[in-house]
Structure formats: structure tokens, C-alpha cells
Amino acid sequence: MGMRRALWANARRGQVRCEAVNSETKGSEPVSAAGVGAAGVTQAGAQAETQARTEVEHRTRRRRTLTWGAVPVAVLAVALSIDHIPFTDVSLAVPYAAEGPGPTFNTLGEVNGTPVVDVEGAPTEETAGNLNMTTVSVRTNMTLAQALGRWLGAGDTIVPLEQVVPPHTSEEEVREANQQAFVASEASATVAAMNYLGRPTNVVVHDTVDGSAADGVVHSGDVITRVNDAEVSEPGQVRDAVRALSPGDKLTVSVARDGAEEELTVRLGESPEDPSVPQLGILMTSAPADDISVTYNLQDIGGPSAGMMFSLAVIDKLTPGPLNGGAFVAGTGTIDESGAVGPIGGIVHKIEASKNDGAELFLAPAGNCGEASSVDAGEMTVARVATLDDAIRAMEDFNAGREVDTCQAEG
């Protein structure tokens, strides 16, 4: 019995021994392997061999299953990553866009050795700390795998593509529109800053629309001084004068051109979007009326949301003492010529980027406070601002240790 136990024990471990194993049994004479043990060894060995063969076959089947099982996974991975059907122009991009935190820029600093906001023609003051403008990174033309990766891996927000690229509009047209909005925001930022500082401004023609009433009559670089005998100093005043008329009406525009004053007469056309709306067909910017010039040196950025931060940078450079008290301030928001701050998109990602940058105070448009209040801003204070004055007051209160008007959760 003892011999059988030893043999079975070794057989279960997959080891088949060839030598005899002596054992003693109570009440019996010693038994040799040549007696009853021979049959036991044969039986145990056969079962051990069978079990070993079964285990080998099982491992082989498992390897085969794993190998063949990996094939569809690999094929699926390749299929999800390609953006076109092979040998065709058929796109496999999903109709979604990914939005995430974009780069931030200190409007008081430099990019590639060039000031982000360059003020010339007047003495400028020393600045300190940060007045960071924020952006949102938008990705389109993604495969399903890429969209899932941005959502699960990077934590981006996945939105329908039509929210980023409207129907019947190309991405190139969207980029051009965003660039125009960025240029317009620079002009508004300059005017808002000059108005805050009590400095006069001029209306400058940036370009004309091909085929419009102004095409060939008004020139790029013209300074508009009067419209229908009313003095103008802001683009908004020109727009209001045009909107008060109808398509086909005549408009008198006085401009300063090459050091001389000229009076131009144009007949207003129709807006392509609405034939009942009059169109002059000029793109306007603003410039200080004195010798001050403001240049914004950021490339490949679109949209109007940097307006408020640009205004603050101009004001900071033209007033003594750091406007931000030397603190790390970030923010976003459109700005109009009167200094009103408007809502923007992507506030969640802009707050996230600013928190990660180490900002102490974030200036958020009042119109975005509902969404902004739901974001984990960490130790960063998120201030509610509706005007340029509000933004400056928030920085003053923050640096003085006073209570800041912050974005509160709705409800």
C-alpha cells in the first residue's frame, strides 16, 4: 500500500519513476517490486502518461485559441485606426469633434522673443506676474479609435461635428471666420482699453468685401472720420449708421487718406444673409487717435475669446504698477468697445488648463458662471466678471485679501 501511494503521488506530479520503492505493511512480510508492485507501476505509469498527454494537448489548444483569437483583435485595431477605405477616397472619419484644454499664453510675456501685446508710441510701465489668455484645442477628422482615445484617455469632450463645423460649411471657411473674429477682438480690445484710459481712437478700414458697395471706393488704411456728417471714433458707430438705413440708400463717408480729407458717397447694398439688411462692405479695426499703436503677435489662434485679456494687458502696460498685483491671473471672455465682457465656449477646459498652469485667479464671464461653478478649480479662485471694470476690481480685491465676487453654483 505504501508503495502504491508513493507511485501515485509521483504520477500525479507528472513524474514516472523507473526504480522500485520498498515499503512495509503492518502484519505482512516485506514485498519486492517483482511481486505485486509490477502491476502497480504499470497502471500508475499509464495513467500518468495519459494525464501528461492531456495537459500537453490542453496547452496546445489554448495557445491555438489565443493565437487565432488575437487575429480578429488585431484586424479590428487596424480597421479602427484607418481614416479611409483602402484604395478609395471614402472617409471613415466619425461625425464628432473632440474639445480639450489648449495652450495658454501670458499676454504680458513673449512668444519666440516677440511681445504677445506690443504697445508703442507712449511710455510703458513694468509689468509682473501673468495675465494668461486661454484656448480650447479642437480635433476633427477623427477615426472611431481616435475619438475613443481622446474621450477615455485624454478626457476630452466629444461633441457633434456640426457644433464646430456648421452644415454646408468647410473647415477652411470656419478657420477663416475664426481668424476674422480674432482680428476683430484685437480691435475691440484696443478700443476698450483706450476708452478705459480715456484716450481717443480712430476707425480704420482693414479691408473691403469684393463686389460690395465699398469695393473700389473705400480703401484699406482709410481712417473714417465722419458718416453722414456725424463724427465717429468707434467701428460700432459706423455700423449703427449703416443699420439705420435701407439697401439702396446713399451714405456719405468722410475719410483721411494720405494726409488729405476726402468725402465719399456710396449706395448701400444688400446683405447676402438677409436682402432686407443694408451692407456697406468694409472690415474695420480701431487704432488710438494719438501716436500709440498696439500690435498683437499671436499666430494660428482663432475666435474672439481673448478680447478681455488683451484689453487688460494694454491697460497694464500703460498704467503704473502691476494691474494683477504680480499674481498669476488667467481668464477668458469677449470684449466690446464699451468694455462689456461676453460668454465664450469651452470654459471647462480653460479652467482646467489654468489650474494645471498654477493660476491663482481665473476671470470668467458672468454668462459662463453656471458651467464654470461646476468645475473643480482646486485652490484657484474663479471670479465672475461682466465688464472690464469688474475684471480689474476682482484682481484688486484678490490681491488685497478682500472677498471676490465668484461664480456660484446655480440653484
Active site residues: 305, 350
Q: If you write DSSP's letter for every residue of 127-195 in order, what string do you get? A: --SEEEE--EEEE-S--HHHHHIIIIIS-PEEEEGGGTS-TT--HHHHHHHHHHHHHHHHHHHHHHHHH
Name the amino acid, one letter, at 18. C
The alpha carbon torsion through 326, 327, 330, 333 (nearest 10 deg) reads: -60
Q: Give CA–CA dist 161/158, Å, rounded.
A: 9
Check: CB of residue 351 under 8 Å from CB of residue 372. yes
CA distances from 237 to 208, 228, 338, 369 (A): 18, 11, 12, 30
How many other C-beta atoms are found inside a 10 Å radius of the C-beta of residue 83?
Answer: 13
CA gap 126, 103 in Å, rounded: 25
DSSP at 303: S
Distances from the Cα of 111 to the Cα of 108, 150, 359, angstroms: 10, 28, 19
Contact 293, 226 (CB under 8 A): no
Burial level of 74, CB count in 10 A (0-12/13-18/19+)? Answer: exposed
Q: Kindly report the backbone phi and psi dihedral angles of residue 62, in degrees, each rounded to the nearest multiple of 5, phi listed first.
A: -65, -45
Count of CB atoms within 10 A of residue 21's CB? 16
- 3-class DSSP state for residue 309? helix
| CA dist., res. 155 & res. 161, Å (int) | 17
**Angle 368-370-372 from CA coordinates, rounded to 5°:** 65
